[in-house]
């Protein structure tokens, strides 16, 4: 199994970067999957430079509905014809920061359906995508410190309410080394997601954690608690980036040492 970061906040060499994230997931015996699409379509150029053919995309999984994970989709669809698009239950509701700043996607469910795309709103805790890849959601709150502090709002019944992100989607790869967990922004708490992933698969460890952990606005206590709890989960490879924030990344690197892997556009992770 192989995970390639198609775009991330930081570019590398000829590969572009932008505030956003997208992963290419290759498995044996099945066509590859795309997890999130970044915000502008840079991932398509990066994919070309990396020799990744997006035309092979079997399915796209969106972690959540914010623009920096979704708006690359229109550019991707110029190349790819995925069988399915998996989305969180509240994906197409309007996402806002505060009352006025729209931070959702630039497409609607109807537009995608008009293009003949099949959209799956994920309600089950686990969806088996075959070849040991799974979508997980319905993330319970198991920590008391992972609260959503940013003013993220969602439109429900014509009203803006605080978003709890319980419907966020994460991807689990079951490898010989253990659970590999891919996350988008972890607005619902990265430790909440990681504990849930371990529990769902009857494990008490997470081998690898790759993606955004949204600690950019976290206080020192939350960062320390997160690092301690990820160590308790036995994480052997930590590739936290995107909305993790420089401060938390620095502390993670200090705590995890060689187990911390910087993640930028083009970074590849292979698992037997
Ligand atoms: Zn987000
Ligand atoms: Zn994000």
Convert the pLDDT of each residue in 98-120 to its tens digit: 999 999 999 999 999 999 999 99
Structure confidence at residue 149 (pLDDT)? 86
Describe the strand order of the beta sheet including 237-241 as a list of residue ranges.
126-128, 133-136, 170-175, 178-183, 208-212, 237-241
Domain enclosing residue 257, as ranges: 2-270
Based on the structure, what is the number of domains in the chain? 1
For residue 214, report the distance from its CA to the centre of ligand 2, in Å.
8
In percent, the amount of the chain with pLDDT more than 90 equals 99
> Which residue in 1, 68, 6 sits closest to 28, CA to CA?
1
Q: Which ligand is nearest to the CA of 168?
A: 1
For residue 272, report the distance from its CA to the centre of ligand 1, in Å.
31
CA 66 – CA 98 distance, rounded (Å)? 14
Question: Over the chain, what is the mean pLDDT?
Answer: 97
For residue 20, report the distance from its CA to the centre of ligand 1, in Å.
9
Mean pLDDT along residues 37-61: 98
For residue 9, report the distance from its CA to the centre of ligand 2, in Å.
10
- Residues in the 5 Å CB sphere of ion ligand 1: 66, 185
For residue 95, report the distance from its CA to the centre of ligand 1, in Å.
9
Structure tokens at 170: 């994460």
Per-residue exposure over 192-231, b if at least 16 CB sit within 10 Å of its own CB, e if not? bbbbbbbeeeeeeebbbbbbbbbbbebeeebbebbbebbe
For residue 19, report the distance from its CA to the centre of ligand 2, in Å.
7
pLDDT in tens, 233-252: 999 999 999 999 999 999 99
pTM of the model: 0.97
Structure confidence at residue 121 (pLDDT)? 98
For residue 5, report the distance from its CA to the centre of ligand 2, in Å.
14
For residue 118, report the distance from its CA to the centre of ligand 2, in Å.
24
Please report, for the domain that includes residue 58, its CATH number. Answer: 3.60.15.10
């Amino acid at each position: 199994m192989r995970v390639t970061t198609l775009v991330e906040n930081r570019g590398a060499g000829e590969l572009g970067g932008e505030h956003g994230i997208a992963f290419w997931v290759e498995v044996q015996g099945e066509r590859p999957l795309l997890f999130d699409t970044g915000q502008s379509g840079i991932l398509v150029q990066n994919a070309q430079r990396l020799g990744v053919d997006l035309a092979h995309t079997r399915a796209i999984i969106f972690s959540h509905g914010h623009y920096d994970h979704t708006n690359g989709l229109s550019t991707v669809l110029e190349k790819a014809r995925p069988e399915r698009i998996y989305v969180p239950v509240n994906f197409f509701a309007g996402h806002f920061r505060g009352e006025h700043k729209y931070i959702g996607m630039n497409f609607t469910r109807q537009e995608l359906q008009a293009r003949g795309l099949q959209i799956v709103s994920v309600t089950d805790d686990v969806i088996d995508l075959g070849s040991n890849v799974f979508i997980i959601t319905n993330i319970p709150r198991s920590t008391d410190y992972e609260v959503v502090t940013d003013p993220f709002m969602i439109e429900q019944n014509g009203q803006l309410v605080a978003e709890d992100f319980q419907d966020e989607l994460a991807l689990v790869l079951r490898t010989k080394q253990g659970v590999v967990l891919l996350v988008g922004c972890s607005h619902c708490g990265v430790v909440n997601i990681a504990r849930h992933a371990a529990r769902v698969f009857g494990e008490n460890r997470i081998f690898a954690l790759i993606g955004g952990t949204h600690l950019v606005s976290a206080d020192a206590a939350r960062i320390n608690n997160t690092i301690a709890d990820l160590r308790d989960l036995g994480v052997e490879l930590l590739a936290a980036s995107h909305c993790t924030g420089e401060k938390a990344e620095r502390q993670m690197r200090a705590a995890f040492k060689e187990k911390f892997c910087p993640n930028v556009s083009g970074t590849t992770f292979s698992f037997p």
